[in-house]
């Protein structure tokens, strides 16, 4: 039996690592990609998610090639974007930014897009875009203030993390929950399996 090919994740996100672990997948290496995530002029949220995923993939591939490490590995990248209509919400680093996001999302629906990009050992690239519709309840001022104090919003698309306290804000969701967390598992596993990565290898023999 040939050895399992390596899998390199172009991210250091604890959320994406935890989601992959949930599917029984453990990356062999992490190559976080530091790229400019500024939207282009008039760029739509769905296009931004796919473009950033592909740019992260290319940046991680360049790092890999520079060291000749993990040649012949699968390379996986993803980026999540929150949009309200054509408007792209930031990944806040300041409380004021996060507060603006929550006021905008309060009592209304928004969409979460994740672009997933996979590079195969032969250099082929496959991509997927996954969309989830989410509706928040109307948020009281004290709820927003308490959430800002929690700092769970820091660096999260749209200023919230659904797997934490903000899960209490959601009244309706259509689509993939894991997509909103940061990596749509069903679609990601399907991409890997479609390229013959042994995604089910550990299911019968967990560590």
Which residues belong to the active site? 79
Q: Are 192 and 74 in contact (CB under 8 A)?
A: yes
DSSP alpha helix (H) spans, the chain: 14-22, 45-67, 95-105, 141-150, 177-181, 185-194
8-state DSSP, 159: G
Q: Which residue has the tokens 């899960």?
A: 167
Hey, what long-range contacts does 162-166 have (CB within 8 A, 24 or more apart)? Answer: 162/134, 163/15
Query: At CA 80, angle to CA 167 and CA 203, rounded to 5?
Result: 75
Which residues touch 90 (CB under 8 Å, ≥6 apart)? 97, 101, 159
DSSP string, 112-153: EEEEEEEE-TTS-EEEEEEEEEEEEPPPPHHHHHHHHHHTTT
Among the listed residues 54, 48, 169, 174, the one whose alpha carbon sits nearest the alpha carbon of residue 113: 48
Q: What does the alpha-carbon distance between residue 56 and residue 174 come to, in Å, rounded to a whole number?
A: 27
Q: Which residue has the tokens 């002029």?
A: 41
């Amino acid at each position: 039996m040939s050895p399992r090919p390596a899998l390199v994740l172009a991210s250091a996100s604890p959320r994406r690592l935890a989601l992959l672990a949930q599917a029984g997948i453990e990356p062999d290496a992490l190559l976080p990609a530091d790229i400019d995530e500024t939207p282009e002029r008039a760029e739509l949220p769905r296009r931004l998610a796919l473009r950033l995923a592909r740019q992260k993939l290319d940046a991680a591939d360049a790092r890999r090639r520079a060291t000749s490490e993990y040649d012949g590995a699968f390379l996986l990248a993803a980026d999540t974007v929150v949009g309200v209509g054509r408007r792209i919400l930031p990944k806040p680093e300041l409380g004021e930014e996060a507060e603006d996001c929550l006021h905008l999302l309060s009592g209304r629906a928004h969409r979460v897009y994740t672009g997933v990009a996979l590079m195969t050992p032969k250099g082929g690239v496959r991509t997927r875009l996954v969309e989830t519709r989410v509706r928040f309840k109307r948020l009281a001022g004290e709820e927003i203030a308490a959430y800002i104090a929690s700092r769970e919003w820091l660096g999260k698309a749209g200023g919230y993390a659904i797997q934490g306290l903000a899960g209490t804000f959601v009244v309706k969701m259509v689509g993939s929950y894991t997509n909103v967390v940061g990596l749509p598992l069903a679609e990601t596993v399907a991409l890997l399996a479609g390229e013959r990565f042994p995604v089910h290898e550990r299911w019968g023999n967990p560590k």
